[in-house]
Every structure is written in C-alpha cells, then in structure tokens.
Amino acid sequence: MVSEKQGLDVALAMAKMYGEVPSLALLWETGIFETVRDNALGITNTKLFRKALSWILAKAGIGDLGSPKGAAQGTMDPATIETMLATEEGTRQLDVMLTAEAKGMKGQAIAKGPTDDDLDEAKIAEDLEYDFSSDTSLPDLIDSGAPGSRQIRQRIDTDEGERGFTSAGVALFVARVIVATVRRYRSGTHHDPLPTAVEELFRAAYLAEVGKFAWDAMKTKAERMWIDDGEDPGVDGHGGGYILRRLEQRQAANPALTIDLVGHSAGSIAICEMLAAIDAKQRRIRFRNVVFLAPAARLDLFARWIVRGPRIFDRFRMFTMTDEWEKYDKLLGSIYPRSLLYLVSGCFEDRPDDAIAGMARFLRETTTSAGRDFDDVRQWLRQENRVVYAPSDDGAEEGLRTRSERHGDFDDDQPTLASLLSMARAVP
C-alpha cells in the first residue's frame, strides 16, 4: 500500500535479510497508505471538521448511550468538546473519558437496539436547528466555504434541492451522522466513541477524499494482476499471471522446488486472489509456507481461500497485533486514535465494522460483524501456532516472535524478520 520507492526499499531489505535464500518480490504500487493518511489529516485538521465532530459527540450522548440529546443536556457541550479537540492531550483525554463512560453503559445500549424510536432523524434535526439559532458557528463555516466545507455543502445542496443552503440542511446532515454513530453502539459494531464518530463523519461526506475509491481500485488490481495473457504477455500484460505460469513450469521441472508466500497488509488480498486464480486455472503449484503480516484482507476472503480453499500449501502463519496494540497505533494522531486496519474496517468496506482478517477483535471472540459463521475460522487459527500476536512473549520459540508496534512495522521489525527467516530455513 506504499509508493514504488518504499516498496522497492522493503523488497531490497527483505532480500538482504533472506541472504542465501532466493526471494522474488512482487511490487504493485498503490501509495494508498500515504493517500489515506495525508488526505485524512488534511480533513481532520480543519476547524470545520472538529466543530462538526464536537456537535456529533455532544448530541449523541455517547457517555450514557441514552436518547440523542440537546447540547445542554449531554455529558459535555459542543464548546467544551471542541476545546479539548484543539490539543493532542485534550483529545487523548476525551477519547479515554468517552470510552470509559460508554463501556459502563454497554448493556443498556445493546438493550435499546439500533432501531429504537428515539433515533428519529427529523426530531434530532429539529433540536439541532433550534441550537443553531443561538450558535451559528457551524452553519456559518459551511456557508462561508471554510476548508473542508465543500463536501458537506454538496451533500446538503443535494438533500435540500431548490431550497438551497439552510441551517435546517446542516441540522439534518449532523442528525444523520449522530444516528449512524448511536446505531453502531447499540448494534455492537462501534470502534469506541471518538473513532466511531470520526468514521461516520467520513462516511457521510469525505469517503472519496479519504481514500475509499482508491481502496476499491487497489482490490481490483489485486484480482486482475493474476490474469493469464499467455507465454508472451508483452509490456501491457499482467505480471502476476506470467509469474504463475513460470512457477508452474519450474516446479513441474523440479518437484523439490520450495515456494513460500509472504504478504504484508494489502499483500494478503493479492495472495488470496492469487490462490483463486490458481484454482480457476487448475494450476499445479504447491507452496510450503503462506505468511500474512497484519493482513488487510476481509475475513470472508480469507476464509474462502486460506481456511476453506484448496489445500495447496503446507503451513500458514499470521503475525498481527493484539487489539490493545492496534488501538495504540494512531493513524491520524489523537483525533483518530486507531490503526489503518480500524479505518479500513470502519470506512472502506461495504459496511461499518466489516471483519478484517488481521484484526484481533474479530479473531479472538465472536463479534456482531464477523458472527458465528466464522467460528470455524477462529478454531482453525488457534491450531498449529497459526497466529502470533504482537507483542509475543519474551520466551517465544523461533518462528513465533514479533514486537511490531504499528501496522507498518512488520516488514522491518527484527523479531518478525527473524521468525520469517526461521520458517524459510526450516527443513521439511
């Protein structure tokens, strides 16, 4: 998910690490990590975004998860929240406080249900419009064309039609984000109050800018790169398909040829699609190890081609972070204090909190999003040391060590690299 230069640097470092073990790196430039981070920071750092987020958090009443409420009735008012969001430390304290309050009311939230009568967009919008009559700062920022306002203005203009821009339109926009945020809490698909509110504000107006379409394009590339163009694909051919053809030929000529697959982040999607392409063409290729590092593949894709797919590999291992460390990996600083995989799950897939294979929250227990359909996946992963969570125990065996603290660390974390090398050197 990085630029060509960064991908090449990683490939060269991995080749050096493997030493005498031959390696082949497949670089597919996307740059999506930089796109997501830079674009999202450009949005979240605006005064408008923080002000809108303040109203959402105040009116959602996340602290007690009761009915969405007026600004003066919540745990905190929008002005207090906006002040806290203005500094790194204040935002950190807000995240901790809201998360702790929400955990204490989890049972009541679930009991209310995601379609309770109090989640009335029109009524919440009416209350907001009344609040905006005395505090016009948010409508004024949007109407004045402040940074970050174009996307919200477009949504409001679409909804309001001939009426044009109105404070009522702003109120309805914010009300919809509030309802979406509260529903995720009540359905158990939230990522804690602050991250969930940020994700829903992204989903309401900023998905294109944040990187949703780039993510979809990347997944399409991961599938199409394995198309077989024949013996002479030419410069416009699909490199992955050509590699599979050659690997099949090489392994047929030398059955002892051992092949390991290692995919980091979105590389796991490419490997799953590769296994699908092998199955579709009925290619006779066998792999020894398949290793995923913090995989960004959806759990259903992972289940189809790794857990339930044709058994054309001998061993599987995943290195990823515990949920606690996943939450320490702050992709966008304090205002979105979660990892890239959390953002992918919350914004980039078909539904909020879509199950991602590399997220411990979906692997260690049954969740609303993953459901019991994936109990067999969890059971399969618990066997034969198929999952190694960072940080691994100090006394972990060779091949089972990792200390990666961030999503991007796995390909240069020394304990992880030592584990990969140990697996590569293992004698069958």
Residues 197 and 240 in one domain: no
Do 48 and 149 contact (CB within 8 A), yes or no?
Answer: yes
pLDDT, greater one: 121 or 162? 121
For the stretch 314-370, pLDDT in tens is 999 999 999 999 999 998 889 999 999 999 999 999 899 999 999 999 998 888 888
Residues 52 and 201 in one domain: yes
Which two structure tokens, joined as six digits, stand for 344?
């992918």
pLDDT, greater one: 125 or 63? 125
DSSP state of 373: G
Instruction: Report yes or no on 379 lying in a domain.
Output: yes
Residues 281 and 420 in one domain: yes
Instruction: Report yes or no on 311 lying in a domain.
Output: yes
How high is the mean pLDDT of the chain?
87
Q: Which of 208, 227, 248 is the last residue of a domain?
A: 208
Distance CA(290)–CA(44), nearest Å, equals: 38
Statement: residue 26 has pLDDT above 80: no
- The percent of residues in the chain predicted with pLDDT above 70, rounded, is 86
Residues 123 and 13 in one domain: no
pLDDT for 73 equals: 43
Statement: residue 160 has pLDDT above 80: no
> What's the structural domain count of the chain?
2
Instruction: Report yes or no on 323 lying in a domain.
Output: yes
Residues 318 and 401 in one domain: yes
Question: For residue 320, what are the domain limits?
Answer: 4-30+213-425
Residues 365 and 326 in one domain: yes
Residues 291 and 416 in one domain: yes
Distance CA(240)–CA(228), nearest Å, equals: 8
Residue 265 pLDDT level (bands cut at 50, 70, 90): very high
Residue 71 pLDDT level (bands cut at 50, 70, 90): very low
Place of tokens 């490997």: 271
Judging by DSSP bridges, how do beta strands 261-264 and 387-390 pair with one another?
A: unpaired
This prediction's pTM: 0.89
Residues 203 and 225 in one domain: no
Instruction: Report yes or no on 36 lying in a domain.
Output: no
